[in-house]
Every structure is written in structure tokens, then in C-alpha cells.
A and B are shown apart, each in its own frame.
Chain A
Amino acid sequence: MNKNFFIGLALGIFVLVGGFVLFKNYNQSSYQVLIETNIPNTEITEGVSIMYTAIGFSPSEVTLKNGGKITWINKGNREIKIGVNPHPIHTGNREISGGDFTLDLMPGDQKTVVILKTGTFDYHDHLNAGEGGTIIVQ
């Protein structure tokens, strides 16, 4: 154990703590808005719109009839790539992403897909997989 080890350790701890504090301050307000807006839509419908904004997908959970349509709308300020779980291989029901590996939406874009398979399918933004939601098809 020499002096350099402790300098390195101190740097490491500084980076960890600094990053944590920065992140806490940065995201606190976003979390509050998320809690208020990401309310699941439990009503069974034939068609539903799922909107992406800076705070994620809304509604976070939707319930559809078999053969129902989902319209994906990107109202955020960056490109999103919607993929069905599991991440990152997207081997679940790819009807969610129009049959492709990902359904790509630039800001302002919208696309509609039809879901024929029944079940519960989770999805996410492939570029930021922490953001996602659930689609239940009955």
C-alpha cells in the first residue's frame, strides 16, 4: 500500500460521490413529474396512442384487444428506437416494433402497428433501455 494507491482510491471515491450527487440533483424534478404522468391505462381498447416525451413513455401500461392498433408518437427531442423485451436482443413479440428489430422514430414522427398475438409484452427504448412500458393484449 503506497501513497499512490490512496491518491487513486481518493480519486475513485471522489468520482463516485461526485457523480452520485450530480445525478441526484439532475433527476429529482424529472422523477416527480414521472410519478404524476405515467399512469397505466387499464381500459381495454382497440386502438391506443403511446407517447414518448422527455420523461419517458406515457401511458406506461396499456391494455388492447387482440388485433388492436398502437400508434407510437415521439414528442421528445431525440430519436428513439422502440424494441420489445428482452433487451438487447428483442426476441419477444416483434409486432410491437412493426416486425423489425426496432421501430425508429425521429422527433415529431409517429407510426402505427397492429398487434395480433395475445399476452403481456414489455418494451423499451433500445438507446436508453431504462425507459419503457408494458402492453397487455387480450
Chain B
Amino acid sequence: MNKIFRTPKLQMIIFLLLLSISAIIHYSFISYLQAFLVALVSTIMFDLAFLRLRKVALFFPYSAIITGVIIGLIASPYLSWYQLIITAGLAMFSKNYLLFKNRHIFNPAAFGLFFSHLIFSNTISWWAVSWQQLNVQNLSAIIYILILLLPGLVSIVRMRRFVNILAFYITYALLNQTIFDPTAIFFAFVMLPEPMTTPSKRTDQFLFGISIAVLSFIIRFPLPDVFTPVLLLGNLIFITIKVKSRMNI
């Protein structure tokens, strides 16, 4: 039992659920919980269904839970139920069918949210991960920021993606002349370092992090949301380089 709690994926799930609870408490609006649960449950169901179709032995869907929570945290809470279900379906479709060497190519949450945006013209609200404000004189503000930072423990310490995260955030902060951006912090800690779709070598992590920050700065103006399309573009560039150089993952 103790061993299970030491797995990075379960730790990430726990920290993301803490973040979800803090956001729902902050907004004091229970209807957000409905949208969150629709996203979470439908992502898990789609993953299990696709695994069954692929005749892959079923296993506990840690990754699907993480994707579902991410969708629940950043999709608009006012999306209708069918839009959320389709978003979840698209995310799990990419996880199960858009594969290279049996690993998915795109960050599933980013894929689902981006293509949902193309279909429904909705924008990503980042509602649960954008309201935290840097205010050292307010205890609750400090606690909320600490909760926002918790997923970083998993991605920096357990998954060893600190080069990727630091390269991205420092470049992003310099380009945008900002120190504290909760959305960028969430993106850097949770979505950017997804192990299946991003490089593991330190030099590659460094280049990947800088590239994503620079791309997000260059193409921010024509897009309502910049992080998801840029991450998908980064995933695509990464896989293209990998295919060409026949690198091992």
C-alpha cells in the first residue's frame, strides 16, 4: 500500500485533486464540480473503452485520471456536458491511437482541449489555475499558491524534469516580463513535462523548454489560448526529430 503511494502518478493525482478542491472552495460554486466530474468520469470511461477495443489488458487508469482532472481544471466550467464528453473522448483517442513505438505522441489533455476548441469555438478558461495571486500578507493566498506548487514536487523531484521546467519558465518570465503567472506555473509543472511526449535527456529538455516558451511568445497574439497549441506543436517537432534520428526513448 505504502509502495503505491510512492508512485509519481498517484502523487500527481493527489496533488491535482487538492488543487481542484482549493479552486472549488475559492469559487464557492458547486456547479463547477459537476463539469469537473463529467470531464473526469468520461475521460476514464473512454480510456477503458479504447483499451478494451485495442485488446490491451486493463489496468488502473492513472494517466486517464490525470488527463480528466486537467481537463476539469482548465476547460470552461460552462461547457455543456456533451462538449466535455467529446473533449474527453478526443483526449483519450489521441492517447490510445496516435502512437509511436506504443507511446502516445501528443499530450492527451492538450489534444482534447485544442480540437474541442476547433470544433466548438470555445476557449480554455484555465479557471482553477489562474486566480491564485501573489500576496505575502494574506495567509490563504500563500496556502493557495503552495497548493498550486505541489505538482512541481512530482515533476521536478520524482520525474526529474527540472531542466525542461526551468528552461521554459525562466524564458517565459523574461519574454513576458512577469515573475508570477499561475497559469504558466501549472502548465510548466503539470502539462509540459508529461514523460511520454517530451524528451528525457537534459540537453533536449533544455531546448524543448526554451522552444515552447519562445513559440508561446511569438504566436500568442492570433490565438485565444496559446499553451495547448504550442505544446502540441512541440510534441510534433519532438516526435519528428525522434523519427528522423531514430532515437530511443
Contact = CB atoms under 8 A, between A and B. Distances in A.
Interface stretch (B63-71, B126-134, B196-204): B126-134
Nearest to A22: B82
Interface in B187-208: none
B115 A8 contact: no
Interface string B195-235: 00000000000000000000000001000110000000000
Contact of A4 (B54, B127, B183): B54
Nearest to B126: A88
Contact of B96 (A8, A26, A130): A8
Nearest to A78: B78
A89 B97 contact: no
B147 interface: no
Interface residues on B, range: 35 or more
Contacts of B130: 88-90, 101, 126
A120 interface: no
A26 B79 CA distance: 13
Interface string B106-135: 000000000110011111111100110100
B11 interface: no
Given A9-B97, A89-B178, A20 B119 contact: yes
Contacts of B93: 8, 11-12, 15
A127 B119 contact: no
B125 A12 contact: no
Given A19-B83, A79-B29, A8 B119 contact: no
B164 interface: no
Contacts of A101: 130-131, 133
Interface residues of A, number: 30
From A15, A20, A78, A130, residue with most partner B Cβ within 10 Å: A15
Interface string B232-244: 0000000000000
Nearest to B76: A128
A134 interface: no
Contacts of A8: 50, 53-54, 93, 96-97
B123 A130 contact: yes
A102 interface: yes
A39 interface: no
Contact of A23 (B53, B76, B119): B119
Contacts of B181: 89
Contacts of B83: 19, 23
Interface string A13-56: 00110111011001000000000000000000000000000000
Contact of A7 (B53, B86, B90): B53
A54 to B, nearest CB: 11
A119 interface: no
A8 to B, nearest CB: 5
A118 interface: no
A129 B126 CA distance: 10
A91 B125 CA distance: 15
A92 interface: no
B90 A16 contact: yes
B86 A127 contact: no
Interface of B: 29, 50, 53-55, 76-78, 80, 82-83, 86, 89-90, 93, 96-97, 115-116, 119-127, 130-131, 133, 178, 181-184, 220, 224-225
Given A15-B89, A15-B90, A23-B83, 12 more contacts: A4-B55, A8-B53, A19-B83, A19-B119, A19-B120, A78-B78, A88-B125, A88-B183, A89-B178, A90-B130, A129-B76, A129-B125
